[in-house]
Amino acid sequence: MNILTEEFKTPFNTVPFEQLKNEYFLPALNKAILIGKDEIAAIVSNTQTPDFFNTIEALERSGELVDRISHIFFNLNAAETNPEIQQLAKEISPLLTAFANDIMLDEALFERVKWVHEQQDEFILTAEQKTLLDKVYKGFIRNGANLNNNDKEQLREIDRQLGQLALLFGEHVLSETNAYTLEITQKEDLAGLPESVLEAAAMAASKRNKPAHWVFTLQAPSYLPFMTYAENRQLREKLYQAYASRACKPNENDNHSVIMELVQLRNERAKLLGFGSHAEYVLQERMAETPQKVNSFLDDLLQYALPVAREELAAITAYAQQYQELATLQRWDIPYYSEKLKKEKYNIDDEVLKPYFKLENVVGGIFEVAKRLYGLVFKENNDIETYHPDVKVYEVNEANGQHLGIFYADFFPRPGKRNGAWMTSFRGQKNVNGQVQRPHIAIVCNFTQPTSTKPSLLTFNEVKTLFHEFGHALHGLLANGTYTSLTGTNVFWDFVELPSQVMENWTYEKECLDLFARHFETGELLPAELVQKIKDSSNFMAGYATVRQVGLARLDMAWHTVAPNTITNVDTFENEILQKTELLPQVEGTNISCSFSHIFQGGYSSGYYSYKWAEVLDADAFEFFQERGVFNKETSQLFRKHILSAGGSEPPMQLYKRFRGKEPSPEALLRRSGLLRPNQTS
C-alpha cells in the first residue's frame, strides 16, 4: 500500500508524515499522473457540447492527486531535504513538466476550451467563473496551444531544460552556503559581538567537532549578526567575500553558465510564443502589465530615493571616520557602522529589543492580532503529524468555532532547509457543490534558535518577517472561493505581497506591541519610549535600502528584457546594469546574479519589482486602517472580504478599489519611508 495515493485517515486529512517514506513518491506520482490523464481523456471524449462545467470546471478539478503529492514533495524538498530527496526531485520535476505540457498541448482539449471561450456570452457565468475561463484559455495560449507540432516539441524540450537548470541553480547556492565556515580561535577577534551570538557560534563549533572555539556560517542568523557587530574589519570582509561569492567561483557549484543558459532559453521560449522578451511574456499576467511600466515605476522611486541614499552614506562615512581611517566605505562596513550610528541616534539595537521578543510570546501575539482583526482562534494540536519535531501545528477556527484550516509553523534553521522564510500550503481551499475543503497552510522560517541558557529571542526584523509570512498564511487560511486555482495566494504576483506586507505595519504600533512584547525574564512591557524609537528608526537608511531593492529589480528586468545574444559576460552585464544604483565600490570576485535564487531558482523572474509595487499597495492600505484605528472591525472586514477571501477571483485592481474605495497612490509609501520631502509631490 502506498499512503500517498490513499485517502489520509488522519485528523482533518492532514499529511501522515510519520508513515511517509521517500520511496513512496515516485510510484505514487506515476499512478496519480495516470489517473490525471484518464480525467483529461474523459473531458475530451465527452460527447456533449462543450460548456463551462464539462470543460473548464472539469479541467480545474482534474489532476488533484498529482497536486497533492507534488505539494508534499516540494515542501519537503524546501524545508527538510537530503541527497535522496534532491535526487528524487531530478526525476520528479521532468515528470510533472511533461504531465502539465501534455495537457497544455492537447489539441482536442484546447479546441473545447477555445470553443467555450468564444461562446462565453452564451453562458451565464459568475465573475469568478469568467476569471477561471479567461485564465484557462490564456494558459493554453501562453503554453503553446496555437503552435505547430515542431514548435510544440521545441517548447517541451525548453521547459524540460529550464526545470532542471532551476534546480541545479538552487543546489549550487545551497551547497555553497553550507560549504563555508569561518572558524575563530582568538577571543579578541570576537570583539563587539553580543553574548547570544557568541553562544550560538560556540554551539555551532561543538556541533561540528571543530577544534575551533567559534564557528560562523553563511546562514542568516549567523552571518547577519557577525556583519552587524564584529569590530574586526578584516574578518567582516572575509565573511562578506564568502557570502557574496557564493556560486560564482570557478568550481563545481559555479552558476555563471547556468544563468546564461537560463536567460537564453527563457528568451527563446518567449519568442516562440510571440512575445518580445521573457519579461513581456511574464508581465502580460501582472498588475503592472509591461516592462516599460515596471521600469518607469522603478525609475520614479529611484528619483526620490537616490538623493536620500547619498546623504545617508555620507553621514555613515563621516561617522565611521571617528573610529578608523577609512579611505572608502566598503560593503562590509555598512551593516556595522549603520547599526552603530543607528544605536547612537536612537539608542536602540537588536540586543535591547530581543528580550521583549521571545518567539512564543510573538507567536501568541500574532494569534491575538488575528483574533482582534478577524476573530480567529488558533489551538495547538499535537495529534497532527509533522515532518520534523520542531514543527508546530494549530487548528484555526472562526470566532463561532467553525473550522477554517490547519496552520503549520516551522521556525528554526536546519542544514536541509532553504534560506529565508516562506509560506506554502499542503492543500488549498475549494468548494465543490457546497462541499468545502479547508486549506492546510505552512510557514517556514530560519529564526534565531534557543541556546542552552536562553529561549529563542527574535530580532525586530525577525518579528516583522513572522508578521509578513503570517499575512501570507492568512491569505491562504481565509480563502473562500470555489476553485483552488483562484483562491488564497493564487493571485497575480505583484499583488501577492499585499496581505503579507500590510501585516508588517502592525509591528510598529504600540497598541499591537502591547499585546505580546514583554521582557522574557521580568515580564515588563516594552517601554513606550522604545516603541517610539522603533518607529523613528524604521526609516533609518530607507533611501539606501530602496536604492538596493530598485537595483535588484532593475537587474532582474534587465536579465529578462535584453536580448541574450548581446550578453557576453555575466559579470560585465551585471555591473553595467547596477551602475545607476551603485553607491559603493565594486568588490572583486563577488556577484549578485549567481546567488539570486529569487529570479533564477524561484518564480520571481521579471517579478522582483513586485516587492516595491506591493509596498505601494500596503502603505496605501494601512493608511486606511490607521484612519479608523488599527484594529477597526469595519476596515478589517472589508480587507478580509475583498482581499484575503477573494484570492484571484477577479482582477486585483477591482478588488483593491472595492476595499479602499479608490486606486492606490505611491504617496503613502513615500510618506511612510520619509522619501517625500516637504516641497515634493509625487
**Active site residue ranges:** 469
Nearest to 391 by CA among 132, 119, 14: 14
- Per CB under 5 A, 610 contacts Zn ion: no
Stretch that binds Zn ion, among 283-291, 304-312, 494-502, 652-660 (CB under 5 A): 494-502
- Per CB under 5 A, 465 contacts Zn ion: no
Q: Least separation, in Å, of the C-beta of 462 and Zn ion?
A: 14
The CA–CA distances, whole Å, from 139 to 61, 146, 433, 586 equal: 16, 11, 25, 42
Stretch that binds Zn ion, among 11-19, 493-501, 625-633, 654-662 (CB under 5 A): 493-501
The interface mask with Zn ion, positions 149-188, x = CB under 5 A, is ----------------------------------------
d(CA 366, CA 479): 19
User: Exposed/middle/buried for 625, CB within 10 Å: 0-12, 13-18, 19+?
Assistant: buried
Stretch that binds Zn ion, among 319-327, 451-459, 492-500, 657-665 (CB under 5 A): 492-500
Spatial CB neighbours of 229, under 8 Å, sequence gap ≥ 6: 192, 193, 194, 197, 336, 339
Residues between 538 and 567 that touch Zn ion (CB under 5 A): none
Q: Least separation, in Å, of the C-beta of 293 and Zn ion?
A: 22
Segment holding 66, helix H or strand E: helix 64-79
The interface mask with Zn ion, positions 290-329, x = CB under 5 A, is ----------------------------------------
Stretch that binds Zn ion, among 287-295, 384-392, 495-503, 523-531 (CB under 5 A): 495-503
- Residue 163 CB: number of other CB atoms within 10 A? 18
Contact between 111 and 45 under an 8 Å Cβ cutoff? The reply is no
- Residue 337 CB: number of other CB atoms within 10 A? 21
The residue among 319 and 611 lying less far from Zn ion, judged by its C-beta, is 611
- Using CB positions, name the residue nearest to Zn ion: 500
d(CA 24, CA 247): 32
d(CA 312, CA 310): 5
Contact between 624 and 642 under an 8 Å Cβ cutoff? The reply is no
The residue among 36 and 488 lying less far from Zn ion, judged by its C-beta, is 488
Q: Least separation, in Å, of the C-beta of 248 and Zn ion?
A: 26
Stretch that binds Zn ion, among 53-61, 351-359, 373-381, 497-505 (CB under 5 A): 497-505
Contact between 556 and 592 under an 8 Å Cβ cutoff? The reply is no
The residue among 267 and 500 lying less far from Zn ion, judged by its C-beta, is 500
Stretch that binds Zn ion, among 11-19, 389-397, 498-506, 535-543 (CB under 5 A): 498-506
Q: Least separation, in Å, of the C-beta of 654 and Zn ion?
A: 22
The residue among 4 and 466 lying less far from Zn ion, judged by its C-beta, is 466
Q: Least separation, in Å, of the C-beta of 488 and Zn ion?
A: 13
Strands (E) across 338-402 are located at 377-380, 392-397
DSSP 3-state percent helix, strand, coil across the chain (nearest 5): 60, 5, 35
Q: Least separation, in Å, of the C-beta of 471 and Zn ion?
A: 8
Q: Least separation, in Å, of the C-beta of 13 and Zn ion?
A: 27
Spatial CB neighbours of 493, under 8 Å, sequence gap ≥ 6: 286, 603, 604, 607, 610
The residue among 115 and 611 lying less far from Zn ion, judged by its C-beta, is 611
The residue among 12 and 422 lying less far from Zn ion, judged by its C-beta, is 422
Angle of CA points 40, 45, 50, to nearest 5°: 90
The residue among 143 and 500 lying less far from Zn ion, judged by its C-beta, is 500
Q: Residues binding Zn ion: what is the number (CB under 5 A)?
A: 1
Residues between 11 and 40 that touch Zn ion (CB under 5 A): none
Q: Least separation, in Å, of the C-beta of 502 and Zn ion?
A: 11
The residue among 163 and 664 lying less far from Zn ion, judged by its C-beta, is 664
- Per CB under 5 A, 500 contacts Zn ion: yes
Q: Least separation, in Å, of the C-beta of 500 and Zn ion?
A: 4
User: Exposed/middle/buried for 459, CB within 10 Å: 0-12, 13-18, 19+?
Assistant: buried
Contact between 481 and 135 under an 8 Å Cβ cutoff? The reply is no
Angle of CA points 628, 631, 636, to nearest 5°: 85
**SS3 per-residue string spanning 272-327:** HCCCCCHHHHHHCCCCCCCHHHHHHHHHHHHHHHHHHHHHHHHHHHHHHHCCCCCC
The interface mask with Zn ion, positions 650-679, x = CB under 5 A, is ------------------------------
Going by the DSSP 8-state scheme, the letter that residue 659 receives in this structure is H
The residue among 196 and 500 lying less far from Zn ion, judged by its C-beta, is 500
Nearest to 412 by CA among 389, 386, 393, 395: 389
The residue among 8 and 611 lying less far from Zn ion, judged by its C-beta, is 611
d(CA 630, CA 467): 15
Segment holding 405, helix H or strand E: strand 403-410
Q: Least separation, in Å, of the C-beta of 644 and Zn ion?
A: 14
Stretch that binds Zn ion, among 95-103, 172-180, 190-198, 496-504 (CB under 5 A): 496-504
Contact between 560 and 277 under an 8 Å Cβ cutoff? The reply is yes
- The footprint of Zn ion (CB under 5 A) covers 500
